[in-house]
């Protein structure tokens, strides 16, 4: 008999197929599980897979009294109430580092596209502006990468990979993180100091209560009118309303965002702006990182059902 | 008395201002000079500035019998008939390397945007596809950079900078060039072998008769259905019709193009495709590379008017 696993969020089909070959899936398809399954069904669940950002609190855990493992697909687990899980002796696992390269790549993609104004440039060619030599303020030359100061906020696995990529573009890389790391980049003592120092702020910090709206109107003002902010972490780290205002009144020059406060929604005020590049949380969305994340999910679940500790357990989870 | 200089192509305003502070400009504004100036005026011209790609043949040189210096803005000089210039003892200068970093950056921007499908992704967010969970074949996960084979065609200054940037994305980098270079990348013995080996072909070769349509239907077929081609060199290096066909029938997966066969025009068949990213020849179009190119132009002109050899002379020019 194969083990039953609750699917709490919506996942790519390829993932469902692969996990489905090993376990019996109870797919809530992104809806509240108690709307999809009976109380009895929920009572039988011992393990579940969730996207780390999906809210998962004590009330939901209490609907599944036999729950022993919450397995997050991806690095993040900010939606999971870790204290509530610990209290109920539920192990929390994730996929550390499995998507770090892919996420760092999308961070670079967004930075380059935003600073070189790729979207207006493509539009200028497709719309005939180029062939008719139509003047376009968006096509004025911008500062390139060489000599730019790239500030990385957070120096975990993704932050390091962003820093290594950015340094190859002949930039200066600096960072701020709760603690200094043994990396060949300048350490700035605060987020304020990093924003003052850099012209591109790359947000790679782990989301949580301590980083909620860490990038606010004050930080954006410090970034300055030539500044650009890129977020591939979680939408909650930026005050989105302040960002929209800073972009609209040219307090900063541009932004590249893969994450938003209320996913899967990007506010209309943001999507109306020409100086932003927006992607639908696809940082970890590559073939190889999906495979690597699935490997972690499967390893965590197999260990759990074999009565062993999760190999990829969240610290404190 | 300041020296007179013919402006043969259209240039950014900032460049015209800076050059205009030092020399008296006769601006043909991109039109044939003999339509803008009298035979007498042309007969007095001793120096001119041109975009390297603009055709400049013997017939045009003969309208300016006193012409002693053709100064190209940028690295390229493929529009200039070097043999005709040599025959008339006209020195040809350019701006070697001044824009190499900027051009390498746009190559990376195009590669990342094309392989990660940035334009459809942005459109998916802005158009509401994401928030309504609308299925989109363009949003299927693609291969990321890690472990990808990046083939660089041409290993001049721009090719080296592309290779260094690409290697930082945890890729394997290979190259083909007329000769082997002392670089830490795998050398492939032919363009065919490079196309067979790589999944992204980065065209950084100098344009000329020997590279005209070097990337043709056969090379694109070797690149394969997961392959992507990026061109930041000159449009003439790719057979554009073959490229459109290969993109339309999925012989290759995508393309990123900063250059086109008939600039400033991109064919309608190309602009209609969803799997291409198009920029209006902005590779060297950053503040710092414009300044560096202007430095070379000014140094070449000042040396010429002082009766000295051009400091940035084209080899054989």
Are B156 and B189 spatial neighbours (Cβ–Cβ below 8 Å)?
no
Are A120 and A160 in the same domain?
yes
> Is B83 part of any domain?
yes
CATH code, B181: 3.40.50.720
In-domain check, residue B311: no
The answer to whether the CB atoms of A141 and B113 lie below 8 A apart is: no
Residues A299, A189 within the same domain: no
Is A141 in Cβ contact with B286 (below 8 Å)? Answer: yes
Residue A22 lies in a domain: yes
Shared-domain flag, residues A219 and A202: yes
Asked if the structure places residue B312 within a domain, the reply is no
Query: What confidence tens digit (pLDDT) does each residue in B280-290 have?
Result: 999 999 999 99
Cβ count near A149 (within 10 Å): 17
Residue A316, in any domain of the structure:
no
How much is the average pLDDT of B258-269? Answer: 96
Q: B260 to chain A: nearest residue by CA?
A: A125
Kindly tell me if the per-residue pLDDT of B146 is higher than 70.
Answer: yes
Residue B263 bears catalytic tag: yes
Regarding whether A188 and A91 lie in a shared domain, the answer is: no
Asked whether residue B257 falls in the same domain as residue B122, the answer is yes
B254 shares a domain with B208: yes
Segment A227-250, tens digit of pLDDT: 999 999 999 999 999 999 999 999
Domain assignment present for A311: no
Is B291 within 8 Å of chain A by CB? no
Tokens linked to A76: 């993040």
Tell me, yes or no, whether B129 and B263 share the same domain: yes
Identified catalytic residue from B281, B285, B288, B302: B281
Residue B188 shares a structural domain with residue B113: yes
Q: Residue A53's domain spans which residues?
A: 4-98+287-305
**Domain shared by B39 and B144, yes or no:** no
Which residues in chain A are closer than 8 Å to B12, comparing Cβ atoms? 141
Residue among B10, B102, B143 minimizing CB distance to A286? B143
- Domains: count for chain B: 2
Do residues A56 and A121 both lie within one domain? no
Q: CA-CA distances (angstroms) from residue A195 to A177, A182, A213?
A: 13, 21, 14
Cβ of residue B100 closer than 8 Å to a chain A Cβ: no
Are residues B239 and B120 located together in one domain of the fold? yes
Question: Residue B37: its pLDDT value, please?
Answer: 96
> What percentage of chain A carries pLDDT values higher than 70?
99
**Catalytic residue selected from B117, B165, B222, B234:** B234
Pair (A124, A75) in one structural domain: no
Q: What is the mean pLDDT of residues A11-36?
A: 91
Q: Is A199 on the interface with B (CB under 8 A)?
A: no
Q: For a pLDDT cut of 70, what percent of chain B falls above it? A: 99
Tens of pLDDT, residues A64-98: 999 999 999 988 999 999 999 999 999 999 999 89
Put simply, the chain B residues between 149 and 188 with a CB less than 8 A from any chain A CB are 164-165, 167-170
pLDDT in tens, B126-135: 999 999 989 8
């Amino acid at each position: 008999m194969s083990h039953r696993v609750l699917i709490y969020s919506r996942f790519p089909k390829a993932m469902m197929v692969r996990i489905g070959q090993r376990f019996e899936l109870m797919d809530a398809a992104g809806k509240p599980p108690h709307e999809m399954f009976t109380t009895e069904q929920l009572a039988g669940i011992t393990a579940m897979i969730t996207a780390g950002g999906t809210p998962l609190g004590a009330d939901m855990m209490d609907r599944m009294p036999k729950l022993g493992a919450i397995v997050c697909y991806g690095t993040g687990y900010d939606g999971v109430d870790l204290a509530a899980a610990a209290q109920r002796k539920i192990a929390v696992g994730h996929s550390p580092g499995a998507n770090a390269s892919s996420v760092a790549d999308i961070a670079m993609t967004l930075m380059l596209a935003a600073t070189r104004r790729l979207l207006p440039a493509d539009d200028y060619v497709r719309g005939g502006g180029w062939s008719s030599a139509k003047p376009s303020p968006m096509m004025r030359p911008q500062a390139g990468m060489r000599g730019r100061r790239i500030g990385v906020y957070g120096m975990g696995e993704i932050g390091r990979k962003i820093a290594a990529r950015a340094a190859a573009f002949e930039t200066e890389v600096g960072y701020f993180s709760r603690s200094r790391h043994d990396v060949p980049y300048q350490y700035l003592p605060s987020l304020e100091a990093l924003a003052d120092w850099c012209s591109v702020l790359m947000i790679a910090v782990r989301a949580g209560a301590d980083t909620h709206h860490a990038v606010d109107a004050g930080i954006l003002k410090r970034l300055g009118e030539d500044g650009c902010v890129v977020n591939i972490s979680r939408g909650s780290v930026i005050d989105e309303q302040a960002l929209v205002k800073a972009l609209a009144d040219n307090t900063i020059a541009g932004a590249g965002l893969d994450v938003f406060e209320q996913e899967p929604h990007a506010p209309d005020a943001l999507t109306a702006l020409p100086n932003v590049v927006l992607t639908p949380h696809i940082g970890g969305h590559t073939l190889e990182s999906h495979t690597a994340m699935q490997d972690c999910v499967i390893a965590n679940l197999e260990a759990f059902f074999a009565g062993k500790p999760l190999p990829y357990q969240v610290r404190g989870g």
